[in-house]
Structure 1
């Protein structure tokens, strides 16, 4: 009987944990705004395409521009109610390797909005759309 109670408790914990992380799954890039030395630039799908996968412990993404490879990266992450913390462990952008970025985020239906501010300045703002509906 103790085994069944333990199994039920563990199952409920996993269910609550999965529901607590709305980012689990596969996301496709919709649009973004990025700071440059000369102001801001924007990017939109389909010229810029990217897929980001969020597992229980890691994120990974690959980005193309006009069908040509541009970026790839990933690593571990943490999440709380208002922030998504990405730590770049691998990828083809050397300046990001080892860096942790704290994005504020919100989910609206199937859309994930996230923004990155550094020293009070907007660095990046993106919108992603959920591809799968299993999570």
Structure 2
């Protein structure tokens, strides 16, 4: 009986560790939209937005292009628990203070990763990423 309890405890911890590593890899932006400073919804496709995000066990880094022009980059630590993905910026190109946090409702479905960021009850950003590595 003691061995069964130990096995159950081990499996619980192993499952938790596997969930934490689910995002590790290289992700490419497939589609998305955001609310611009004027309050208008902008589709990433109309901007010709391209982006890669690389995630390790504790850090993220992304670079985004608008067509062939540099658009934005950022890096920092992240947390992914219970359907919430939160980035805590260290460095960025868009003027956010170091330590700023961006939190998303997040889900993984196969090779796709879906993120929605909200301001109160208004969705201000939506992203679909595809794992490429």
Task: Place the TM-score, normalised by the shorter chain, in its bin.
Answer: 0.7 to 0.9
Question: How much does 1:96 deviate?
Answer: 5.2
What is the correspondence of 1:1-135 to structure 2 with a 5 Å cutoff?
A: 17-36=17-36, 37-44=38-45, 47-95=48-96, 97-132=98-133
Contact 2:104–2:117 (CA under 8 A) maintained in structure 1:
yes
Report the more deviating stretch, 87-96 or 50-59. Answer: 87-96
Provide the TM-score with structure 2 as the length reference: 0.81
Q: TM-score, normalised by structure 1?
A: 0.80
How far 1:66 moved relative to its partner?
1.2
Q: Gaps (5+ residues) in structure 1?
A: 1-12
Q: Distance in 2 between matches of 1:104 and 1:14?
A: 24
8 Å CA contact retained: 2:20, 2:80:
no
1:27–1:131 contact (8 Å) kept in structure 2: yes
User: How has the CA–CA distance of structure 1 residues 28 and 19 changed in structure 2, closer, same or farther, with 3 Å as cutoff?
Assistant: same
The count of aligned residue pairs is 123
Give the conservation status (yes or no) of the 8 Å contact 2:118–2:124.
yes
Residue 3 of structure 2 is matched in structure 1 by none
Which moved further from structure 2: 48-57 or 34-43? 34-43
Classify 1:92/1:123 alpha carbon distance in 2 versus 1 (closer, same or farther; 3 Å): same
Cα root mean square deviation, aligned: 2.5
- Structure 2 residues without counterparts, runs of 5 or longer: 1-12
CA separation of 1:45/1:76 partners in 2, compared to 1, >3 Å: closer, same or farther? farther
